Structure 1
Amino acid sequence: MLGAGIQGAMLGRVQGRRALIYGAALATLPDLDVLMSYPDPVSLMTYHRGFSHSVFVLTGLALLLAWLIRKYWPQAPYSGRRLFLTIWLVLVTHPILDAFTVYGTQLFWPLATIPESWSAIFIIDPVYTVPLLLAVLFAIAFGLKRTARRLLVAALVFSTAYLGFGLAGRMAAEHRVREAMQGQGIAVAELRATPMPFNTLVWRVIAKTPDGHYYEAVSSLFDRETPEWVRLPLNLDIGQALAGVPLHERLRWFTDDWLRYDAIGDALVVSDLRMGMAGHYTFRFKMAERAADGAWKPVTPSVWPTDRGGWSELKLVLRRILHAQPPLPLAQWSELAKE
């Protein structure tokens, strides 16, 4: 929708409805990396949103495409500069929008910087998508006349402002939780907030402590009470068994070391704390097995089954936007991380 909206607004007067198709198709190109095969799920996770999401690579691709179009269609009724700017915006706004989620986007590949993870918006948020969708549908139905182009511009302005609202919400949630923890004498080493599913009003905040634990906290924009939280172990002593293992080090880099370790039976399970909710972590990997002598032996990572939550949990989360009582059952949910 974003790519269609941009191209429709910038070239719709000339290209008509085709601008929407071209923009939507062009905007999918960075995600073609999903067609690549990887030998394990950790590689799949950490190489996705890599080179194909680099602003350097996409700028070069935009220059190439604009040059090819001008070369083989020199009579095009728009300037090469406008054509390049349109293609460039359609391409680079894809990874930039990805960077506003928590997953991690390697915007500056091949530079080995920690992937950008601005945590301003949930990966699916109707408040962001629906206005763009309605504007595109209007343009499809009535053509790219002045009214439709203005609607597209308005939807683009709104969606961009909404991302700013999400960033402000994240900073407010982090400030609220940090202040509450400091008020109770809790030392916080690192802290970050991520939006709960489908909204930017209630936030999950994770906070590390210097003693190897972390807190799962929840804070809503409308809270007037102290946020609820639960203290949990990172189990860093178990994680030492993976020290120096290349895929483990890559996972630490990709997640900025927001990892938890659990010994579950004879498996050493590593959980990415950034995504999901307490106990309902989206990405979990078995990365070692217990040998006969009791020592941990690294293995090729595999996906560890996880309860990602369902409708019953989602109802509680959405209710939590306006109602602080009863608090979310974080302690109960967190027990799932041991399974």
Structure 2
Amino acid sequence: MDNITHTVVGLGVGELVQRSLPAEPDEAGQRTRHRLLLTACAAASNFPDLDLFLTRLLPDPLGYLLQHRGHTHTLLYEVPQALLLVALLWLLWPNARALLRRSQHARAGLGAAVVLGFLLHIGMDFLNSYGVHPFYPFDGRWFYGDMIFIIEPVFWVAFGAPLIMAIGRPWLRWLMLAGLAGALCYFAARGYLGTVSLAALLALGAGLACLKAARRRSRRAMALALLVSVGFVAAQGVAGTAGRQRVQAALQAADPQSRIHDVAMTAFPAQPLCWAFVSIESNVAAGSYRLRRGLVSLAPGWLPPQQCPSGLLDPPPHRAAAPGVELYSEVSGKLAELRSQADGNCWLSAWLRFARMPAITGATASDMRFATTPRGNFTTLDLAATAGRACPAGVPAWTPPRADLLAR
């Protein structure tokens, strides 16, 4: 997820932890604890992304692909990160240090905020199609949620509206609410949000803001925000599973001889009916594999695929594979050639530790999941440029997502 989402959700959960504890006996201690728990949870919810400083350990694009969401995004290595964060808060915050010495509730709250913040980070990163490998070094496999778009405004609104309403200065409160509404309208104007989604988000934000405005219901507003977020994730999980089943049925009907290994589902923001997908199939008898990229609408009679938010649609031409399932592009290759290239090029072998949907065409290799991102396909590896170069050092031992195709 993006770091705005990590921060907003971390602040919201920190607020819930704070309000779930008995109050401190003095007002100053209560204020310090409030700030401490929100800061700790928000910081913990962002801390693993400090691995971006490690991306220089390998040349592009391997540095980003193999180091980001790497060791700092594992359950084992979250333990030293949590201890480091607590140590920094203790050393750099004298008022918090004094409070923690005398208050059992503050110590319990800090522990809960830090643990929840770190677990939130891995959990939320799992929700999209990029993936995480949380059980390394015991298990190097990638795990993909395929449920939530990597920038999801539902979380911004659900947690952001109550948090903004807690700001003491009215002018700043209304300015930030207007900024949140303006950001949603901007995304809609750019084609990333549909009209119905925009209206639903604005209504959700207004409702949560009104609930938070009643001071005695502050905890209820944040608890409702959490409930809305969990419900949204659950609904997306159901919708994504239904979409994958429709895609698999359409592709299998088109080519009964193929074996579908995987279908990566990418959600549209705040729109459970529209999904982009990339599939990978093999035909052992023909010795070939194929990747297909497309779009599925779960309600094609009400929302045809090409009426999904335009900012996330691939350019034409498109081809209908089944009602509600559109195909954008296709890449195919020979299994023997893929395996030979992986064995003979250590750069490609390292890259395949990340690539879930490896499209190798000519002298480049790209993960087809990211074919149309605003910054281009950041996964593209120039195979010609690797000729004669020494093998990259320090490649993490992640299990290749397509080990099923690489095995002979």
Q: Write the deviation string for residues 35-71 of structure 1: whole angstroms up to 9, x where unpaired.
A: 2222312122211111211122224544676699698
Partner AA of 2:132 in structure 1: T
2:359 corresponds to which of 256, 260, 267: 260
User: In the alignment, is the contact (CA less than 8 A) between 1:194 and 1:205 conserved in 2?
Assistant: yes
User: For structure 1, which segment, 160-169 or 8-17, has the greater mean C-alpha deviation from structure 2 after superposition?
Assistant: 8-17
User: In the alignment, is the contact (CA less than 8 A) between 2:262 and 2:280 conserved in 1?
Assistant: yes
1:35 corresponds to which of 53, 72, 81: 53
Aligned to 1:250: 350
Take 1:154 and 1:176, find their aligned partners in 2: how far apart are those partners?
33
SS of residue paired to 1:195? strand
User: In the alignment, is the contact (CA less than 8 A) between 1:189 and 1:208 conserved in 2?
Assistant: yes
Aligned to 1:320: none
Question: Alignment RMSD, CA only?
Answer: 3.4
Aligned to 1:148: 218
User: For structure 1, which segment, 196-205 or 168-177, has the greater mean C-alpha deviation from structure 2 after superposition?
Assistant: 196-205
User: For structure 1, which segment, 59-68 or 194-203, has the greater mean C-alpha deviation from structure 2 after superposition?
Assistant: 59-68
CA distance 1:214–1:285, shift in 2 (3 Å)? closer
Partner AA of 1:147 in structure 2: R
2:380 corresponds to which of 265, 285, 308: 285
User: In the alignment, is the contact (CA less than 8 A) between 1:101 and 1:123 conserved in 2?
Assistant: yes
Deviation at 1:227, TM superposition (A): 1.1
User: In the alignment, is the contact (CA less than 8 A) between 1:3 and 1:91 conserved in 2?
Assistant: no
Uncovered stretches (5+) of structure 2, i.e. residues with no partner: 1-7, 24-29, 91-95, 170-211, 283-287, 302-322, 392-408
1:137 corresponds to which of 160, 164, 167: 164
Take 1:126 and 1:61, find their aligned partners in 2: how far apart are those partners?
28
Aligned to 2:319: none
Partner AA of 1:138 in structure 2: M
CA distance 1:141–1:55, shift in 2 (3 Å)? farther
CA distance 1:159–1:244, shift in 2 (3 Å)? farther
Take 1:88 and 1:76, find their aligned partners in 2: how far apart are those partners?
19
Q: Write the deviation string for residues 278-309 of structure 1: whole angstroms up to 9, x where unpaired.
A: 9x96334233228xxxxx836589xxxxxxxx
CA distance 1:162–1:50, shift in 2 (3 Å)? same
Deviation at 1:80, TM superposition (A): 4.1
Partner AA of 1:133 in structure 2: G
**1:163 pairs with 2:183:** no
SS of residue paired to 2:161? helix
Partner AA of 1:30 in structure 2: P
User: In the alignment, is the contact (CA less than 8 A) between 1:288 and 1:297 conserved in 2?
Assistant: yes
Q: Write the deviation string for residues 257-297 of structure 1: whole angstroms up to 9, x where unpaired.
A: x201111xxxx11111223459x96334233228xxxxx83
1:100 corresponds to which of 127, 131, 138: 127
Take 2:11 and 2:146, find their aligned partners in 1: how far apart are those partners?
24
CA distance 1:46–1:116, shift in 2 (3 Å)? same
1:297 corresponds to which of 387, 400, 403: 387
Aligned to 1:84: 111
CA distance 1:167–1:102, shift in 2 (3 Å)? same
Aligned to 2:172: none
**1:119 pairs with 2:126:** no
Partner AA of 2:325 in structure 1: P
Take 1:169 and 1:298, find their aligned partners in 2: how far apart are those partners?
47
**1:212 pairs with 2:239:** no
TM-score by length of 1: 0.74
**1:202 pairs with 2:277:** no
User: In the alignment, is the contact (CA less than 8 A) between 1:177 and 1:219 conserved in 2?
Assistant: yes
Partner AA of 1:25 in structure 2: A
Deviation at 1:9, TM superposition (A): 0.8
TM-score by length of 2: 0.62
Q: Write the deviation string for residues 200-255 of structure 1: whole angstroms up to 9, x where unpaired.
A: 33112222232322222311121242412256223346643342534422322223
Partner AA of 1:99 in structure 2: F
User: In the alignment, is the contact (CA less than 8 A) between 1:276 and 1:282 conserved in 2?
Assistant: yes
SS of residue paired to 1:255? coil
1:275 corresponds to which of 359, 364, 370: 370
User: In the alignment, is the contact (CA less than 8 A) between 2:370 and 2:379 conserved in 1?
Assistant: no
User: In the alignment, is the contact (CA less than 8 A) between 2:40 and 2:113 conserved in 1?
Assistant: no
User: For structure 1, which segment, 17-26 or 2-11, has the greater mean C-alpha deviation from structure 2 after superposition?
Assistant: 17-26
SS of residue paired to 1:78? helix
SS of residue paired to 1:260? strand
Aligned to 1:317: none
Take 2:330 and 2:389, find their aligned partners in 1: how far apart are those partners?
26
Uncovered stretches (5+) of structure 1, i.e. residues with no partner: 291-295, 302-339
Aligned to 1:228: 326
Q: Going by fraction, where is helix more abundant, 1 or 2?
A: 2
SS of residue paired to 1:4? helix
User: In the alignment, is the contact (CA less than 8 A) between 2:297 and 2:324 conserved in 1?
Assistant: no
User: In the alignment, is the contact (CA less than 8 A) between 1:138 and 1:148 conserved in 2?
Assistant: no
CA distance 1:244–1:10, shift in 2 (3 Å)? farther
Take 2:273 and 2:372, find their aligned partners in 1: how far apart are those partners?
15
